[in-house]
Amino acid sequence: MFLKFKIYTFYCIFGLGVLVASACYSPVAFSGVMLSGTRIILNADERNVSTVVSNVTDKDYAVQVWVNGQEDNNNALSPFIAMPALFRVRAGEEQVVRIIKTPGTLPLDRESVFYFNAQEIPIASKNDENALKVAIRTRVKFFYRPEKLATKPADAPGQLQWKLVNTASGSSLRVTNPSPYHITFIGIKAMDGNNAIELSDVAMVAPKSSQEYPLEHKVGAQKVDVEFSVINDYGGYSAPSKSIASF
C-alpha cells in the first residue's frame, strides 16, 4: 500500500516563466510520486536499505532523492547517500532507491533519526505553455539503528515514564524515554477526573530524553490516567497503552 504525505514545495510553470517557492504547503495538490512506507529503518549490520518510489499517474516524472537531518538543512553533510540520486520514473512504473551509510561515527547506544526526501519534478513539454504544474516533496523518517541495543523496539513504549508538571500558564505532561529508540505518538489522552484531555500531533520523543506536552488547562487532581498509542516499525498503530502521571 502506498501512502500520501505532506507537500513541502511547489513549482508553478506559467508561459515561459518558472516560479519556485520553497517550503510551501498546499493541501489541495496530489502527489504523483508515492513511497512504499511511512518510515525507513537501516540496521547497522546491513549494508543498505531500499525503498520503492512509485509513479501513480499517467505522466512521467523526474525525481530527486536525498537524506538530511530534522532541521531540513540541505547544506549540512549527511552520513547517508540515496542512489540513484536523480532518475526518471515513467507513468505507472517504480524505481528502487538504495540508502547507503558513508564512513562516519553515529551514537552506538541509541538510534539516530534522519529524513528521506523524494522531490518530484514535472517534465515540461510544448503543451505545458500556460499550464500550472505542482511538484510535491515527500519526507519520511529514516532511522539508523546500531547493533546490540539494550532492549527491543516493541518494549520501548512500556518503559515510558510519565509525570505532571505545573507551569506558569497551566500544567504539562512530561514523558521520559529511557529506551534507545525514538517514539512517535499517534495520540495521548489524559483523564483529569471525568475530563478527558486529548493531545494530537505531539512531538516525537527522542531516546534517553524527555519531552513536555502542554495541557489545555491546569490539572486539579494529583494524578491523571494516561492512555497513548505509538507508531511501530511497520508504520502501523500500536494497541493503546495505559499509565499514570502524578506531580
- Summarize pLDDT for 39-86 with one digit per residue, the tens: 999 999 999 999 999 999 999 999 999 999 999 998 888 999 999 999
Share of the chain above pLDDT 70, in %: 85
- pLDDT-derived band at 127, boundaries 50, 70, 90: low
Distance CA 145, CA 181 (A): 8
- State the pLDDT at residue 131: 65
pTM: 0.84
Domain 153-246, CATH among 3.40.50.2300, 2.60.40.10, 3.40.1160.10, 3.40.50.970? 2.60.40.10
CATH 2.60.40.10 intervals, the chain: 10-145, 153-246
- Say which residue the cell 475530563 belongs to: 195
Distance CA 69, CA 12 (A): 27
Residue 30: predicted pLDDT: 57
d(CA 182, CA 204): 7
Overall fold of domain 10-145: Immunoglobulin-like (2.60.40)
Q: Give the span between the Cα atoms of 221 and 191, in whole angstroms.
A: 10
CB neighbour class for 102 (10 Å; exposed up to 12, middle 13-18, buried from 19):
exposed
Mean pLDDT of the chain: 86
